[in-house]
């Protein structure tokens, strides 16, 4: 048995402009950087909770680590599994850092330099004309999958989807995301009418406990359906397959580390589910680890690991850039500098 020393540091990351989600704007990523040191080397992980997406907050992350730090003789596996429901994102950051020791931190953060991955682009605009103008610019920039937030006014959602469709080339697709904010009537209306548009998928119209409503939607939808906030565990993926979903979304932050992410990606695909991967609310460290896992798993859908591009001033070299509709891996993500610039908040010693 080996011991792993964890250090957790706080690094708020202000954004270039507010990132609008269905449940409100995000102006700063409340990020924590994890550094793990063990017998076989060093690994890093990132924790960026998003209130509204889940119940975790920066304060709850700190509370979870304060609770762990006050306990003696803890085992890493017991910590992760015992707290995966109460603090899943906090535990994911620990697990990712520990996994990176064994899998090679430098290899992960410098993986496939010179590679590019098709990436989604957020198409904002609350009115059809504005949305269409943004879509036209993004299409000219090389993006072939655009993401629109929907929910709240279904007729405006449909008008925006129609306006965006009118300016896109025939090969481009629209990925629409409701972030759990749609009524049943609005979701049914959108899923029927949007079949006239090039919709790649409709994401998470309801809260995670709405299986019966998702079944009813599946019966009438003219667009593919995807679950995101509903997907945390292997059992959730199994349930999505039984519900007849077309896609599931996985993110590094929702699952316990790099190795579990890979296992869940493989499991979802074995059930015939298509997978969308990556997190738009994540810094460069987490996004780079997601790019590594995306390539390792052989995914082909447009990745969503673009959170790093929303940050106003990078505290370290991200080793990545967005250009011509793709995520380009053109350097090594500088995790050490990120960690050095962050404020210490907790230390843990766990056996593994």
Same domain, yes or no, for 160 and 286?
yes
Task: Return the sign of the alpha-carbon dihedral for residues 120, 121, 127, 128.
Answer: negative
Same domain, yes or no, for 312 and 279?
yes
pLDDT of residue 72: 65
Same domain, yes or no, for 216 and 311?
yes
Q: What CATH number is given to the structural domain containing 71? A: 3.30.390.10
Same domain, yes or no, for 141 and 259?
yes
Statement: residue 53 has pLDDT above 90: no
Same domain, yes or no, for 268 and 330?
yes
Statement: residue 71 has pLDDT above 90: no
- Residue 309 in any domain: the answer is yes
Total domains present in the chain: 2
- The phi and psi torsions of 194 (rounded to 5 degrees) equal -75, -5
- Residue 88 Cα distances to 2, 19, 231, 309, 314, angstroms: 24, 23, 12, 24, 26
Statement: residue 20 has pLDDT above 90: no
Statement: residue 74 has pLDDT above 90: no
Same domain, yes or no, for 193 and 323?
yes
The pTM score is 0.95
Same domain, yes or no, for 309 and 344?
no
Same domain, yes or no, for 127 and 162?
yes
The count of other CB atoms within 10 Å of the CB of residue 229 is 18
Statement: residue 18 has pLDDT above 90: no
- Residue 65 in any domain: the answer is yes
Same domain, yes or no, for 85 and 142?
no
Statement: residue 22 has pLDDT above 70: no
Same domain, yes or no, for 322 and 176?
yes
Residue range of the domain that includes 29: 3-106+338-351
**8 Å CB contact between 298 and 272:** no
- Residue 158 in any domain: the answer is yes
Same domain, yes or no, for 151 and 171?
yes
- Pull the structure tokens for residue 340: 């050095």
Q: What CATH number is given to the structural domain containing 293? A: 3.20.20.120
Residue-wise pLDDT for 262-309, tens only, equals: 999 999 999 999 999 999 999 999 999 999 999 999 999 999 999 999
**8 Å CB contact between 46 and 287:** no
Tell me the pLDDT band of 246, cut-offs 50, 70 and 90. Answer: very high
What is the separation, in whole angstroms, between the first and last Cα of the chain? 6
Task: Return the sign of the alpha-carbon dihedral for residues 179, 17, 250, 53.
Answer: negative
Q: What is the per-residue DSSP string for 142-154?
A: T-SEEEEE--S-H
The count of other CB atoms within 10 Å of the CB of residue 85 is 10
Residue-wise pLDDT for 89-111, tens only, equals: 999 999 999 999 999 999 999 99
The count of other CB atoms within 10 Å of the CB of residue 137 is 13
Beta-strand (E) ranges in the chain? 3-21, 24-38, 41-47, 116-118, 121-122, 145-149, 173-177, 199-203, 225-227, 247-250, 274-277, 320-323, 326-329, 343-351
CA distance 122 to 280: 9
Question: What angle do helix axes 128-140 and 154-167 make, rounded to 10 degrees?
Answer: 40
- Pull the structure tokens for residue 4: 């792993």
Q: Which residue from 297, 305, 237 is spatially nearest to 272, judged by alpha carbons? A: 237
Same domain, yes or no, for 81 and 217?
no
- Residue 111 in any domain: the answer is no
Q: What is the mean pLDDT of residues 329-345?
A: 98
- Pull the structure tokens for residue 15: 């954004």
């Amino acid at each position: 048995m080996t011991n792993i020393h964890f250090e957790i540091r706080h690094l708020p990351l202000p954004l270039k402009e507010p990132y609008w989600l269905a449940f409100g704007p995000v102006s700063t990523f409340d990020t924590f950087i994890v550094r793990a040191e063990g017998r076989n080397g060093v690994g890093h992980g990132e924790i960026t909770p998003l209130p509204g997406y889940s119940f975790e907050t920066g304060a709850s992350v700190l509370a979870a680590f304060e609770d762990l730090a006050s306990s003696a003789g803890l085992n890493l596996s017991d910590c992760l599994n015992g707290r995966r429901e109460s603090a899943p994102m906090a535990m994911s950051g620990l697990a990712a850092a520990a996994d990176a020791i064994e899998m090679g931190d430098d290899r992960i953060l410098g993986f496939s330099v010179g590679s590019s991955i098709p990436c989604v682009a957020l198409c904002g605009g609350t009115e059809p004309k504005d949305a269409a103008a943004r879509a036209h610019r993004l299409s000219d920039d090389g993006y072939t999958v655009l993401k629109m937030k929907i929910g709240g006014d279904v007729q405006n959602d449909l008008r925006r989807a129609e306006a965006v469709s009118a300016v896109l080339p025939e090969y481009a697709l629209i990925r629409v995301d409701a972030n759990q904010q749609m009524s049943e009537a609005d979701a049914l209306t959108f899923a029927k009418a949007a079949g006239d548009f090039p919709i790649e998928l409709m994401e998470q119209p309801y809260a995670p406990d709405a299986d019966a409503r998702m079944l009813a939607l599946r019966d009438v939808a003219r667009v593919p359906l995807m679950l995101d906030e509903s997907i945390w565990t292997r059992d959730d993926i199994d349930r999505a397959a039984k519900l007849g979903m077309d896609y599931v979304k996985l993110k590094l932050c929702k699952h316990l580390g790099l190795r579990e992410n890979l296992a869940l990606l493989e499991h979802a695909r074995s059930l015939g589910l298509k997978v969308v991967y990556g997190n738009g609310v994540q810094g460069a460290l987490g996004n780079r680890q997601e790019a590594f896992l995306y390539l390792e798993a052989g995914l082909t859908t447009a990745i969503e690991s673009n959170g790093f591009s929303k940050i106003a001033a990078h505290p370290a070299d991200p080793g990545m850039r967005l250009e011509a509709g793709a995520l380009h891996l053109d350097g090594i993500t500088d995790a050490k500098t990120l960690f050095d610039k962050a404020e210490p908040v907790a230390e843990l010693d766990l056996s593994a």
